[in-house]
Amino acid sequence: MTDSILDQAVFGAYEVLANIIPGTVLLITGVLLLLPTDLIRNLAAIPEGITLTILLFLAFILGVATQALSAFLETFVNRKKYGGYPSSLYLKDQDPTFPEYFKDKIRRVLHADYGMPLGSAPGHVFDLCYTYVMQENLSSRVPQFLRTYVFARNLMVTMIIEAGICLASWPLHQYERWIIFAMLLSLALSYLFYRRFLRYGESFAKEVLKSYFVNRAKAHRR
């Protein structure tokens, strides 16, 4: 997928949760592992309503920061894994994911409908397909894949930060072994979310192109 798609995506309540969940995980871990016990007790003495409001605000801010970092790393990860975004690669001649007639048909339909040059860059072709699919509400699976893609991406980075918090807190806890176990567990979860991130990205790109192809190819047969 291309940068513009994720920049323009708005998920409403889902986006709030996608920020709060990673932020809450980081906040709780940071408080428990990095703050002195006396300070934690003093924080517990604050009225619950005020404490909850402050924690939710901090969790959301941490989640937004994590999402910004994950978005920054997204391009690097995709280039390292695929040499670019799957959405663009699937439309290149040398990519075997879709047959040639499929890619050629999409380009010809976009040329006929919108005057798009047949030699347009794959990323531009995909952006037009995505815009059409979303505006016409052709597939509920497209926004679902995009949401889970972003969520998995955020949690991948969250678990990396978690591992860093564990490592930083290790001396504060007299080098207890469970801290290392927690760090290794965080890294393992980060790898799991990394695999999900790649899988959902591929599924999102494929679903956009297939939805556009089925809808517009049918229309052009009439």
Contact 165, 185 (CB under 8 A): no
Distance, CA of 83 to CA of 5 (rounded, Å): 18
Low-confidence ranges of the chain (pLDDT < 70): 1-14, 36-48, 217-222
Distance, CA of 96 to CA of 68 (rounded, Å): 33
Which pLDDT value is given to residue 173?
A: 78
Which pLDDT value is given to residue 129?
A: 93
Distance, CA of 71 to CA of 15 (rounded, Å): 14
Which pLDDT value is given to residue 206?
A: 94
Query: Percent helix, strand and coil across the chain, each rounded to 5?
Result: 80, 0, 20
Helix residue ranges per DSSP H, 35-47:
37-44
pTM of the shown model: 0.81
Which pLDDT value is given to residue 205?
A: 93
Which pLDDT value is given to residue 18?
A: 78
Which pLDDT value is given to residue 195?
A: 95
Which pLDDT value is given to residue 10?
A: 45
Give residue-wise pLDDT tens across range 59-109: 889 999 999 999 889 988 998 888 888 888 899 888 899 999 999 999 999
Distance, CA of 210 to CA of 133 (rounded, Å): 10
**Dmax (CA) of the chain:** 74
Closest CA to 54 of 44, 64, 39: 44
Helix residue ranges per DSSP H, 83-121:
86-89, 100-114
Which pLDDT value is given to residue 8?
A: 45
Q: What are phi and psi of 137, to 5 degrees?
A: 50, 50
Which pLDDT value is given to residue 51?
A: 75
Contact 106, 211 (CB under 8 A): no
Cα within 13 Å of Cα(203), Cβ side = 18
